[in-house]
Amino acid sequence: MKIDFANLRYQHELYKDEIEAAILKVARNCNFIMGDEVRELEENLCKFTDAKNAITCSSGTDALLLAMMALDIKPGDEIITTPFTFIATAETIALLGAKPVFVDIDEKTYNIDVTKIEGKITPKTKAIIAVSLYGQPCDLEKLNAITKNYQLSLIIDGAQSFGATYKGKSEVHYCDIYTTSFFPAKPLGCYGDGGAVLANNDKFAQKMKMLRIHGQNKRYHHKYIGLGARLDTIQAAILNVKLKHYKEDLALRQEVAKKYSVSLSDECEKKEIITPTLIPHTTSAWAQYSIRVKEEGKREKLQEKLKEAGIPTAIHYPMPLHLQECFAYLGYGKGDFPIAEKVSEEIMSLPMNPYLSDEEISYIVGQL
């Protein structure tokens, strides 16, 4: 059997007629930049999340930049975040001249450990960027209590979590600005790069709208130093089709995750692997289904064996950010964030997409 990790090919087949017609319409209208489809998508994103404002942009990375620029993050400011995430979360902080301040992760959820945040807050701290890793929201009530108490802003990097919920509501409602990515392999992906920022606060939304187009408030009049960070109309047209089916896709991802966890429960009992833990009152968008392989050196051997059996796996992420060469100037070293370091040595993502059949899941679990 040959398993497809994200199975984008199958998804295209499934929605082919609608997606190809939408692309053709944009090609024929030639409204490639900020066409009607972009505005429609922004309305659809608001409806989906019940948010007041959605602003699409060129990637999840630019979404983070827009969010921090809207909050006026400047050189010398400190932003608290997790070391166990994709580089973009902390890279954008550094790009703006601010300082990423890392806090270790929770051993169960792999998200930022909210109990360790307060010890890192200084007079220079301006915001927290919480990442909903693998699609699962952080402990948002505790985070809100901290940001309120210390008057900090909260950005949620939801690049992996579009559609996830906390106490029945979208994560947008628990932060100042929510950012997401439409990179093709994300739960809601387009056919290239794309992203969005969502915010209930109108002031931030207005500013991000301008920042996305070189800070302009009127054609060729620039209120802010901004970015060229628009989403292409063609990508918006594709996303409008995919968003129509997204509730269904999310439900299927949740089913797949449940089946994996049930089928792996014996191995979990024997403590050979650890399956994902969801905190109460949350739903995950299941960008990844990542397990931990406890025995040292076994993960790489398993990956090799699975590859031979036609099962692709991936490691999200093999090196925490505090140990990356580009962040050496921050002065962190090995041992500073033991949980993130341990998890990065043990974590392994299994194929995850809405279309994995029972037969494929049994085959993957059997080989594992």
Ligand X SMILES: Cc1ncc(COP(=O)(O)O)c(C=O)c1O
Collapse the DSSP code of 350 into the 3-class scheme (helix H, G, I; strand E, B; otherwise coil) and give the result: strand
The residue (of 185 and 309) whose beta carbon lies closer to ligand X is 185
DSSP string, 96-151: TT-EEEE-PBPTTT-SB-GGGSGGG--TTEEEEEEE-GGG----HHHHHHHHHHHT
Among all residues, whose Cβ is closest to ligand X? Answer: 60
Strand-pair category, 195-199 with 177-181 = antiparallel
What is the smallest separation between the CB atom of 134 and ligand X, expressed in angstroms? 9
Residues in region 51-70 near ligand X by CB under 6 A: 59-61
Residues in region 172-191 near ligand X by CB under 6 A: 181, 183
How far CA 218 is from CA of 67, 92, 210, 211, 213, in Å, comes to: 21, 27, 9, 12, 10
In whole angstroms, the minimum distance from the beta carbon of 181 to ligand X comes to: 3
Residue 158 Cβ, how far from ligand X at the closest point, in Å?
Answer: 8
Smallest gap, in angstroms, from Cβ of residue 297 to ligand X? 27
Find the binder of ligand X among 41, 68, 131, 155 (CB under 6 A). 131
Out of 195, 226, 276, 320, the only residue in the binding site for ligand X (CB under 6 A) is 195
Contact between 159 and ligand X per CB under 6 A: yes
Q: How many residues bind ligand X (CB under 6 A)?
A: 15
Taking CB under 6 A as the rule, does residue 283 contact ligand X? no
**Distance from C-alpha of 20 to C-alpha of 185, rounded to nearest angstrom:** 19
φ, ψ dihedrals at 78, nearest 5°:
-115, 140
Beta bridge partners of 55: 197
We find the least distance from the C-beta atom of residue 131 to ligand X, in angstroms, to be 5
Nearest-angstrom CA–CA distance, 308 and 338: 32
161 binds ligand X (CB under 6 A): no
CB-CB contact of 85 with 98 (8 Å): no
Could you list the residues that contact ligand X (CB under 6 A)?
A: 59-61, 85-86, 88-89, 131, 157, 159-160, 181, 183, 193, 195
